[in-house]
Structure 1
């Protein structure tokens, strides 16, 4: 199977329902920017609609920035800590989850107990595509670990909230190196030296897709490993990871092979940074610029003869052993 980046032909007779809905659960009152970058990236990657669930204090400014989105709110979720018995909050979240084809959870929520509880609830009760990012991962790492991930006899903890084997859905995790180190209780140097191995083993044991962000991002479904070479230092700016999460959420919706949808998002994210950096210089690129150059990256994908040089698939024949 060829899992290299690929854009499916768009249904010219489709409507916004055809292209699916993304739900973005993100942003405490001081982190509205990550909501904007994630949601706008999802919209610019082809989904039909984005619903945003964020802190009430973010709503008015975000409505001005992106009238294309639909908004719902929570009062600052640390007061009180999220409780499934809080029927008002739970019913609102359930209603949003029911409509979504993909969910992004984590950007800007803060590392705290209620973020963990909401993340656990979504992982327990939602059966679509789930992109677990940023503070959702950081909050998980406080209580749960990918213990002994470097050992030869590494096995999944079936009580871990990210455990996804035998479930009919796709869970995608998107940590950068420091977040992955927290998840594994390892030093960052150990993570960087073993990135391929960790990507493969964690994906295989937990039944998830791993996206380990680095200068050459690794993506694995536990069988194959995708090493992305697109991108440059233009991507090393606040909000860049939020954009990637939104792109992934959108591109996996109508993709028969979610692994390929993720690879496509990672590749196009890198190319967007390249185009922005070429025009503006890497010094001057912000997350806003990455969004602005996404259309150029999408347009170039089908004619880009660099693609197979930039992206390498390593088939691991003994992954199932």
Structure 2
């Protein structure tokens, strides 16, 4: 799914109105119908609803929604926030259509801002995605009052006060939504952790904007959906054999950290590699052989850490880093493996920390290799601590382009930055993945797909999606707190089955 800037979304509306063709007032009616349907299907028992509507088109959406819910016998009232003397024509028309028996109050002065004590759902329709400056005056006071209440809050399209395309610093004057019903596509700001309290549960409401515009309008931002993952996935055929699905090598482990390479190896197997081998220090050899009979194992000459390379040319893909440590001899071995690799590799954990301390290694890494840092590892690679996610994402994209690699910036809505400038955000996963071992499992999955001859960008996008989807299945069974990385790996089969639907 393509993501668009505020200006592109505005152009999308205009293009749809002109080419469908449809009057803007009717497009607003269609959008509000979809929003109303969602509310009726998901919140039917919450019958008291209070709308806060601005005087632009976002407010117009709210007025239509209020009218439709009133006709469905909900108890509705509206407050009109007069933040400007400029009132959109569609807003005016829908205000005139509001039934006379729907209570409607104007907020023009500070004294008009209500104290919210009623048990009612609050629907925020003050500002849309085009906001470019912090709310002030009566709008600021209204937002503060909404946030002060303990009432459930639903934001229409985007939380009022939140900038869609760049960093917001005015945290006290942004609606804190429990649910966001965003129209057609998510907005970029909704995908960053600092805005979580302003977004809440994100729901995408399709309103049938022009498909032609969507297909033909360029964007560097994407949101990986189930359909996108299905388009990448290649189901197996009846006469396929293990030789077709690659030969994977996982390099990792050190004394006390063999569990990390175990997880990565298991994940590589579960993700479908034809053959999987683990290169581990001698202290891990018997552990791997005893606990993962499906995998082969190479024992390093050193007992406690890896000191030697191996013949890498026979492997379709190599994943390096889980539990490997940063011993000086290990660094020499890892450098040797990277230098000998002729195909894209996957680097994680201490392999990334080694890279952050050895800038000359960048020139050794094969093109389109995949790096999977969490935020701390990325900041070590970049040599900078970032204040906000927008700057961090820009730096990750720049790094991917500069070094011709793929950066998988892990977190909620993991961002996959490609060398061509595209950034793909993931739609799966949950807070249960925020624990040790999750990254090791992800390295195994991505490396496995790479071994199976998925293109590097496909392996990264599909691997992250499957990892998150398996995490969703694991959390449904175990809960966020109790699920562990092994549960995610065991749930991969369900994630693959889902792609066949």
Provide the residue aligned with 1:208 in structure 2. 405
Provide the residue aligned with 1:163 in structure 2. 363
Q: Secondary structure at the match of 1:161?
A: helix
- Give the C-alpha shift of residue 30 in structure 1: 1.1
Alignment of 1:141 with 2:356, yes or no, is yes
Change (3 A) 1:256 1:267: closer
Change (3 A) 1:301 1:198: farther
Selected match of 1:186 from 338, 359, 384 = 384
- Give the C-alpha shift of residue 164 in structure 1: 6.5
Q: Secondary structure at the match of 1:226?
A: strand
Cα displacement string for residues 258-300 of structure 1 (whole angstroms, at most 9, x for unaligned residues): 2122100001100111111111110110111111111111111
User: Is this contact kept in 1: 2:371–2:405, CA < 8 A?
Assistant: yes
Provide the residue aligned with 2:252 in structure 1. 26
Alignment of 1:103 with 2:300, yes or no, is no
Instruction: Give TM-score, length-normalised by structure 2.
Output: 0.52
Alignment of 1:251 with 2:449, yes or no, is yes
Matches within 5 A, 1:7-22: 7-22=233-248
Q: Secondary structure at the match of 1:63?
A: helix
Return 234-243 or 251-260, whichever deviates more. Answer: 251-260
Q: Distance in 2 between matches of 1:127 and 1:38?
A: 22
Alignment of 1:130 with 2:327, yes or no, is no
User: Is this contact kept in 1: 2:255–2:304, CA < 8 A?
Assistant: no
Alignment of 1:242 with 2:440, yes or no, is yes
Q: Distance in 1 between matches of 2:246 and 2:344?
A: 11
User: Is this contact kept in 2: 1:199–1:222, CA < 8 A?
Assistant: no
Instruction: Give TM-score, length-normalised by structure 1.
Output: 0.79
- Runs of 4+ in structure 1 displaced over 6 angstroms? none
Q: Secondary structure at the match of 1:284?
A: coil
Cα displacement string for residues 52-108 of structure 1 (whole angstroms, at most 9, x for unaligned residues): 1101111112212100011111133788x94xxxxxx45xx12xx122100011111
Q: Distance in 2 between matches of 1:71 and 1:130?
A: 19
User: Is this contact kept in 2: 1:112–1:139, CA < 8 A?
Assistant: no
Provide the residue aligned with 1:152 in structure 2. none
Q: Distance in 1 between matches of 2:339 and 2:287?
A: 32
Provide the residue aligned with 2:54 in structure 1. none
Selected match of 1:37 from 253, 260, 263 = 263
For structure 2, the 5+ residue unaligned runs are 1-214, 216-221
Provide the residue aligned with 1:217 in structure 2. 414
For structure 1, the 5+ residue unaligned runs are 83-88, 145-159, 304-321
Bigger relative contact order, structure 1 or 2 (CA pairs below 8 A, ≥6 apart): 1
Q: Secondary structure at the match of 2:445?
A: helix
Change (3 A) 1:292 1:24: same
Q: Secondary structure at the match of 1:199?
A: helix
Number of residue pairs matched? 274
Q: Secondary structure at the match of 1:210?
A: strand
User: Is this contact kept in 2: 1:164–1:207, CA < 8 A?
Assistant: no
User: Is this contact kept in 2: 1:129–1:249, CA < 8 A?
Assistant: no
Larger radius of gyration: 2
Provide the residue aligned with 1:196 in structure 2. 393
User: Is this contact kept in 2: 1:26–1:106, CA < 8 A?
Assistant: yes
The Cα RMSD (Å) is 2.2
User: Is this contact kept in 2: 1:170–1:208, CA < 8 A?
Assistant: yes
Q: Distance in 1 between matches of 2:303 and 2:353?
A: 17
